[in-house]
A and B are shown apart, each in its own frame.
Chain A
Amino acid sequence: MPAPAIEIDQLTMDYPVGFWRKRSRRALDHLSLQVQEGEIFGFLGPNGAGKTTTLKLLMGLIFPTAGTARIRGRSIDDVSMHAEIGYLPEQPYFYDYLTARELLDYYARFSGYGRAERNGRVTRFLGMVGLAEAADTQLRKFSKGMLQRAGIAQAILHDPKVIFLDEPMSGLDPVGRREVRDIILDLRKQGRTVFFSTHILSDAEMICDRVAVLVNGKLQGIGAPAQFVPIEVQTMEIFFELPEGRTLPATLDHRATQTGARYRIEIPEAELYSSLDRLREASAEILSVTPVRPTLEDYFLRLVGREGAASSPAEVLTP
């Protein structure tokens, strides 16, 4: 078995807090996980869970209290290893007196390209992230979404083998998010490994091979997204409209929500047909009937709601 792309072993980070710096806050608690080459790995958790801390530890921006990590078999202490990785920080902020082109050119210089190749790459990647037209505008005039794109460009421009993205979709509109998803999928197609953190679970669900969930610095679960949610449909959702003067059937009204003339109810699957009958009796116009699939978000909310409960990963994985 080839060495994992990312190997994290008991990584721990304590921050001293308080006026005299006597107490400490544990931001990351003995995290251990492995990511294989060619995987798209999602790192999930609520704000403050320790996702950014983990990424900063891997990048050598902060130093762990305990534990080690290796990327492509090389220790995170080895700065020359950075030639093979790319990183997008959480807040995309760059030198605002530079243009996008100058920024990418600047970063590209650390990878030792000749001028021709450097120019070629800069132009190519600017196009890839949709910044071709804004290439010669100063970054101080960029919107957050544009800065995000510039950040992604600098993270991948030197063809790194492992790419680390901290909240890559944030600040982007739906079109932008799809573009980023496509870029990530394309990176996997090229055989690269992508490790990204996000709290937008639907994105993770769509493209990740595996995900890990971090809450309060502790790993709660790791596995394919599907493993976290049961497949069977449990409830159905019905949208309908009632004609003038008609009221909601009594048995249904306590579960209904209403917007204008439109109603929505959620009922257990077993009651689907009886509910439809009742609605027909009330002369309702049925607009749609959809199964409600539990999502990662439901799992998530349940998990976070169980704050303080020390659930071990094994427990959660049981489908």
Chain B
Amino acid sequence: MSSVPGVVAINTFREAVRDRVLYNLVFFALLMIGAAILVGQISIGIERLVIINLGLSAISVIGLVMAVFIGVGLVYKEIEKQTLYSLLAKPVLRWEFLVGKYAGLLMTLVVNTSFMVLGLAAALFYVGRPFVRGDLSVLVAVYFILLELALVTALALFFSCFSSPMLSTLFTLGIYVTGISAGDIREFGEFTHNRGMEAVTRVLYYLVPNFHNFNSIATASHGDAVPFTLVWQNTVYTMLYAAVVLIAASAVFSRRNLK
């Protein structure tokens, strides 16, 4: 019994690997890490800080770009090009197809991020410091970045089911920015001292995926430890939220007429 999502996932991964655009992005990220070494030289005494800040930020941004730009085309492209038609004529359920596309892109992101992390490790090594225990939090920060990407990918996939790439990109990025500033938005609501605004902003806070939970670049660059409870809390949060989005995507997609 072959698992449909698995087959679709591997195919999605293969498509990403053969798409040369990705290599440019990874190269760009490695370039950033090289730049970090350069910048580190000018900042006296804080090379490690700067390299990790710049390296992790580059990994985060590149990951986001990949997740959004590939994600919004995941389903849309297959509909536009009608490759989906022959696929759905097989014994393939629509939700199985969605999960497979999701898993495939996630796999791609994990592999690419791993390469970039190796580049970052090489940069730290080059600067001459041996690895210390504080570097573990760099790995945790990378893990959090991946969790973040998992959520963004789910959102992009969801929009891809019914909206054009341009709109999907806007929606996904919009939700991402809202999710990062969710705390501030809730604060604004509280400042207004208006019951209605407070209620609205509070609902918004719990509704929107709180991407600010995942930000530990600063912790990693200062070599501080990330509390373990945060690690599993964020993991469960991501799983819950991604499940919500994927279920919504399956529901929307299941009755869609494919022109």
Contact = CB atoms under 8 A, between A and B. Distances in A.
| A–B contact at 8 Å CB threshold (below) | yes
Interface of A: 56, 59-63, 79-83, 85-89, 91, 93-95, 97-98, 106-107, 109-112, 151, 154-155, 164
B91 A154 contact: no
B90 A89 contact: no
B195 interface: no
Contacts, number: 74
Which are the 6 A-B pairs with shortest beta-carbon distances?
A87-B89, A62-B257, A89-B85, A110-B90, A97-B18, A82-B91
A62 B81 CA distance: 16
B21 interface: no
Nearest to B7: A109
A87 B89 CA distance: 6
Contacts of B7: 106, 109-110
A97 to B, nearest CB: 4
B255 interface: yes
A111 B92 CA distance: 10
A97 B257 contact: no
Interface in B1-46: 1-2, 4, 7, 11, 14-15, 18-19
A104 to B, nearest CB: 11
A154 B89 CA distance: 11
Contacts of A81: 91
Given A63-B255, A112-B1, A107 B83 contact: no
Given A83-B91, A110-B7, A93 B19 contact: no
Contacts of A93: 81-83
B229 interface: no
B132 interface: no
B93 interface: yes
Contacts of A85: 89
A138 B124 CA distance: 41
A150 to B, nearest CB: 10
B82 A59 contact: no
Nearest to A112: B2
15 contacts: A56-B85, A59-B89, A60-B88, A79-B93, A82-B92, A87-B85, A89-B85, A98-B14, A106-B7, A107-B87, A109-B2, A110-B90, A110-B91, A151-B86, A155-B86
Given A93-B81, A155-B86, 17 more contacts: A56-B85, A59-B89, A60-B88, A61-B258, A79-B91, A79-B92, A79-B93, A83-B90, A86-B89, A87-B89, A89-B85, A93-B82, A94-B86, A95-B15, A97-B19, A110-B2, A110-B91
Nearest to B78: A95
B15 A97 contact: yes
A131 to B, nearest CB: 16
Contact of B85 (A61, A83, A106, A111): A61
How many interface residues does chain B have, given as a range?
20 to 34
B86 to A, nearest CB: 6
A63 B254 CA distance: 10
A109 B255 CA distance: 25
A170 to B, nearest CB: 14
A59 B88 contact: yes
Nearest to B89: A87
A164 B19 CA distance: 32
Nearest to A109: B7
Of A79, A81, A83, A164, chain B has the most CB atoms within 10 Å of the CB of A79
B91 A107 contact: no
Nearest to B16: A97
Contacts of A79: 91-93
Contacts of B92: 79, 82, 110
A112 B257 CA distance: 28
A89 B18 contact: no
Contacts of B85: 56, 59, 61, 87, 89
Contact of A107 (B14, B90, B255, B258): B90
B236 to A, nearest CB: 32
Nearest to B18: A97
Contacts of A164: 89
B83 A61 contact: no
A93 B80 CA distance: 10
A56 B11 contact: no
A103 B104 CA distance: 17
Nearest to A83: B91
Nearest to A60: B88
A85 B86 CA distance: 11
Contacts of A83: 90-91
A63 B255 CA distance: 7
A97 B14 contact: yes
A224 to B, nearest CB: 28
Nearest to A78: B91
Of B1, B255, B258, chain A has the most CB atoms within 10 Å of the CB of B258
Interface string B54-65: 000000000000
Interface string B163-186: 000000000000000000000000
